[in-house]
Structure 1
Amino acid sequence: MDANPGIFPTFFLSGFECSTFDWKDRGRRDLCEETQHRQHADADYAMLPPLGIAVAREGVPWPMVDRGGSSYDFSFIAPFIDAMRCHKIMPIWDLCHYGYPEGADPFAPDFAERFARYAGAVAEHVSAALPGPYFFTPMNEITFFGYMAGEWGWAAPFGKDKAKRRALTLAMCSADIAAVKAIRNVIPDARMVHIDPLIHVVAPAGRPDLTEAARVESWDDAFLAFDVISGQQHPELGGSPETLDVAGFNNYSFGQMEYREGGPHAALEAGDPRIRPLCDLIEQGYRRYGRPVIVAETSGMEGGRDDWLNDVVAEALAAVNRGVELHGICMFPAVDMPDWHTGKWLNNGIADLVLQPSGDLMRVPFAPYVEALHSWQRRLNRPEVLDADPFDTAVDLNDVLRAAGELKPRADADWH
């Protein structure tokens, strides 16, 4: 059988929490500092080759890098570039993880232009520092950002209604499309990995009057950003299928929800009969856009991380058997992260963070999660440890197709 090369050198990917939002009661935050990721960049990247992972999502902190007047300070990502080069990890550069610079206004007419200039400058910097191929996520989770910052008021610009949420979503889409063009002016063959959550919203029991509102959020609102970026809506903004490029779908248990007027909605409990199989949601997104797909973020919590990975991979392979062009699964985050609201460690990373008396956060891999990863790598004929040149060959998707065909996983809604 002829080789069927995928987009990435490894099927399993990872990444690091890198939010830089202006938070409702804390001001500007930098999650790379809160997790000490910048301080421990070398150790964090050194962790990935023994896991058989050669690709990582990494953030460029726009609010810190952009000094205004087309002046940029890239020292903030220097530790990451050094570590990537040393440990041979290919980045997917995330250019806006919920945060924009002080003084920038997402509703101002020059916002998209400013973001595009910055995106072009990032492309020039990283292409001079690292070998290709090059991957970018211009605006991370535009739809979710619209909710959290446009309707729920968690982060700047602190909107509190549906109209502000939609306006923010469209503004971010416009900036994203402009950034894609700016990046490709520098790197014509750069690939884009656009990312948003897979969600499913249902009406509360006894509230059939909310059925349509739940459907709109599940189908219309959840896909608004991808619709615009792919050119299916608001074609005047310049979107196209090639602009969307790779469709990255995030999957967490709290993405299946019961509708609450005014939101946020209430996550469905495991075992709720209204939960839809992840396989169905992946297939739904793939059929809508016809673009290559990755599961761009997923993780369980606490001691359930290995079971969660087993479930996600099985559901993803069930989607492959339905014809979905799946190129990878991103175990996100690589190291733990705090709950944005409470600061409590979520214990959802490949490695937990354990506070030392010195104030240092020790990285401690969660062994059952690592073993689950290696078990799936063996089934998919993927390397468990990277060799000296992890970029010399891409994933042969025939291995993924073969495993899916042999295992014949059944799509179901059982998270256990």
Structure 2
Amino acid sequence: MRNKGGIFPTFFLSGFECSTFLWKDAGRRDLCEETQHRAHADEDYRMLRELGIAVAREGIPWPLVDRNGSLDFSYIDPFLDAQRRHQILPIWDLCHYGYPDDCDPFDDSFAERFAAYARAAAEYVTKRSHHGPHFFTPMNEITFFGYMAGEWAWAAPFGKDRETRRRFTLALCEADIAAVKAIREVVPDARMVHIDPLILVVPPQDRADLADEAWRETYDDAFFAFDVIGGRRRPEAGGNPEILDIVGFNNYSFGQMEYREEGPHAALQPGDPRIRPLCDLIEEGWKRYRRPVIVAETSGMEGGRDDWLNDVVTESLAAVNRGVELHGICMFPAVDMPDWHTGKWLNNGIADVEKLANGTLMRKPYIPYVQALHRWQRRLNRVTELDENPYDQAVNLDDIVAAAKEIAPQADADWH
């Protein structure tokens, strides 16, 4: 990692919830509208600028811009306008758990349809963007999408068994690879940020017979998508390391779990001796691919958000001391989001929301979280507010390496 320039203009990134799944009991949903992010795009991006965050994950809602193959990208124009105004660099998420109503992910035409959409999306945003380089996440969280829509029946295609999940996951991988190739036909230097959860699954303490199943989910199923996209498995799909490109690991408290024969699994509780340090998990993932890494999503809940950020940054710096090429940490989401199942606000954003009498969701930054961010920005020699030209140079990774060595954090299994 020594003497290597960073990929992004700031080390801390953020992003906005943008799921557009066909939900089990609510039809087509648009989480961007539920959080009013589109209506508040200028305010939301201005907040990032004032926080010293120059990179944001942003969604293009495939099911809403692709109507029977006819594409209309005007939905994202407020995002493009706000990004230009506040000089925020987007990582465009092209499929966040949703595909058009007339698509069948198990049909041979699915990958071709997605690739055509991805190519058109890349052309649209690059012609209107204010700055490069151009970043894309073709298929978000393929592994998790496979489980929640292919085995747990939360969203379309409403699969209910392991075999459907595996078929669906492979179809998403093939579509992703096709999309990367299509995007690079029109934007040859486009960078790809592939994202999936970083997890640990352990057997119940009284079920040693389930150890193999737990291991398989942690080290086989959880990395299947990255393996296919990176060319390690299913080479006929056409993956390779340059298509995988940048590896993003999502990390939440529920990512370390006890195996259940009928999923989802049960999150390990704080203090459980089976919990492993986040540093270890990041290091193992990085060694598997040897690609640039970011923590692509992470957040605590309610009053624990500042402590969570402190823990994640500390564990990430411990991973840097082990040689991990870490390029950033994404505080996700920037604005609070509702629980998909209950609708209750999670209080996990940089800003919470307060519903006014007229229905407007007013943004209210959670101050302890912001203060923790600023402390780390100063500690890592990063800006706390963007200047007039946030793109004059990328993050100097030597600063990150130097801070990691000076702080010398120890991996902590009790990092919850």
TM-score, normalized by length of structure 1? Answer: 0.99
Give the residue type in structure 2 aligned to 1:305.
R
SS in 2 for 1:297: strand
State how far apart, in whole Å, the 1-side matches of 2:272 and 2:357 are. 43
Deviation, structure 1 residue 180: 0.0
CA–CA distance in structure 1, aligned partners of residues 68 and 179 of structure 2: 17
Q: How far apart are residue 409 of structure 1 and its match?
A: 0.4
Secondary structure of 2:317's counterpart equals: helix
CA RMSD of aligned residues (A): 0.8
Q: Distance in 1 between matches of 2:385 and 2:122?
A: 30
Unaligned runs of 5+ in 1: none
Give the direction of change, closer, same or farther, for the CA distance of 1:388–1:3 in structure 2 (3 Å limit): farther
What pairs up with 1:223-262 in 2 under 5 angstroms? 223-262=223-262
Residue of structure 1 in register with 2:40 after alignment: 40
Counterpart in the other structure of 1:179: 179
Note the C-alpha offset of 1:205: 1.1
In 1: Cα distance, 2:124 partner to 2:280 partner: 40
Give the aligned partner of residue 62 of structure 1.
Answer: 62
Residue 413 of structure 1 and its aligned partner are, at CA, apart by: 1.4
1:2-401 equivalent positions in 2, closer than 5 A: 4-69=4-69, 71-130=70-129, 131-401=131-401
- In 2: Cα distance, 1:124 partner to 1:364 partner: 35
Does the 8 A contact of 2:277 with 2:415 survive in 1? no
By how many angstroms is 1:68 displaced? 2.5
The question of whether the paired residues in 1 share the 8 Å contact of 2:191 and 2:245 is answered with yes
SS in 2 for 1:348: coil
Residue 193 of structure 1, CA deviation: 0.1
Once residues 187 and 385 of structure 2 are traced to their aligned partners in structure 1, the CA distance between those partners, rounded to angstroms, is: 30
Contact 2:200 2:256 survives alignment (8 Å): yes
Contact 2:152 2:159 in 1 (8 A): yes
Amino acid at match of 2:272: D
- Structure 2 CA distance for aligned equivalents of residues 62 and 295 of structure 1: 25
Question: Are 2:401 and 1:406 equivalent residues in the alignment?
Answer: no
User: For 1:97-130, what per-residue CA distance to the aligned partner results, in whole angstroms no more than 9, with x for missing partners?
Assistant: 0000011000000000000000000010001000
The residue identity in structure 2 corresponding to 1:79 is P
| Structure 1 residue 49: Cα displacement | 1.0
What displacement does 1:3 show? 5.5
The CA distance in 2 between the partners of 1:367 and 1:346, in whole Å, is 16
Aligned-partner Cα distance in 2 for 1:126–1:113: 20
Letter in 2 for 1:95: L
Q: Distance in 1 between matches of 2:270 and 2:241?
A: 35
- Contact persistence 2:68–2:102 (CA under 8 A): no
Q: CA deviation at 1:415?
A: 2.8
Distance, in Å, in 2 between the alignment partners of 1:401 and 1:271 is 30
**What do the CA deviations read for 1:272-315 (whole angstroms, capped 9, x no partner)?**
00001000000010000000000000000000000000000000
State the alpha-carbon separation in 2 of the partners of residues 271 and 135 from structure 1: 38
Q: Number of paired residues?
A: 414
Match of 1:133, SS? Answer: coil
1:392 and 1:3 map into 2 onto residues whose CA distance is 18
Whether the 8 Å CA contact 2:335–2:352 is kept in 1: the answer is yes
CA distance in 2: counterparts of 1:68 and 1:386, whole angstroms: 41
Q: Give the partner amino acid of 2:205.
A: A
> Secondary structure of the residue that 2:303 maps to in structure 1?
helix
Cα distance in 2 for partners of 1:382, 1:394 equals: 11
**Equivalent AA in structure 2 for residue 390 of structure 1:** P
Give the distance between the partners of 2:204 and 2:145, measured in 1 at CA: 25
Aligned to 1:369, what secondary structure does the other structure show?
helix
Q: Distance in 1 between matches of 2:262 and 2:222?
A: 16
**Separation of aligned partners in 1, 2:171 and 2:314:** 37
The gaps in structure 2 that reach 5 residues or longer are: none
Corresponding residue SS for 2:295: strand
SS at match of 1:352: strand
CA distance, structure 1, for counterparts of residue 290 and residue 44 of structure 2: 34
Could you say what secondary structure the match of 2:398 adopts?
Answer: helix
CA–CA distance in 1 between the matches of 2:102 and 2:123?
24
| Aligned AA (1:38) | R
Q: Report the Cα offset of residue 4 of structure 1.
A: 3.2
Q: TM (normalized to structure 2)?
A: 0.99
Identity of aligned residues (%): 74
Amino acid at match of 2:180: V
